[in-house]
Copies of this chain bind each other. A is one copy, B any other.
Amino acid sequence: MHVQHDQLEVRSHGKGLYEVTDDVQSKIDKSGVRNGTVTVFVQHTSCSIVIMENADPTARRDLEEFFDRLVPEHAAYFTHRSEGSDDMPSHIRMVLTRTSETVPIVDGKMQLGTWQGIFLFEHRRAPHRRKVLITTIGE
């Protein structure tokens, strides 16, 4: 059994989904692990890691629109506003989604379904450099 950690930096430029599937697979290739799991973990509380439909961009746009309506920027009861109107919604959107995903690895390949991709889901409007940790465990 073997454990490998790799870092990935994702540069975001506004709210939305940024695919990292190929970057994650590259780290697995490097690790030499053939059977096990990979955990993709983002070290922030204002963006998420999610698995999402990777084929049709309209699905991602509709998802973003849904979240903008579910967690509006200007809710009257928000008191945590120090970093702007997209600050508190970013934490709520993160709690409603996920900080990490764990995917099985078989014969060196992530076992994603045909339409599954791994995405960083950015919840802030300003550009950010996001730190993602990729941990491969297996044999």
A residues with CB within 8 A of B: 1, 3, 5, 35-37, 39, 41-46, 50-53, 56, 58-59, 61-63, 65-66, 70-71, 75, 77-80, 82, 88, 91-92, 94-104, 106, 111-116, 131, 133, 135, 137-139
Contact = CB atoms under 8 A, between A and B. Distances in A.
Given A63-B95, A66-B71, A78-B62, A133 B116 contact: no
A24 to B, nearest CB: 14
B58 A116 contact: no
Main secondary structure of the interface of A (DSSP, over half): mixed
Contacts of A1: 1, 3, 139
B5 A35 contact: yes
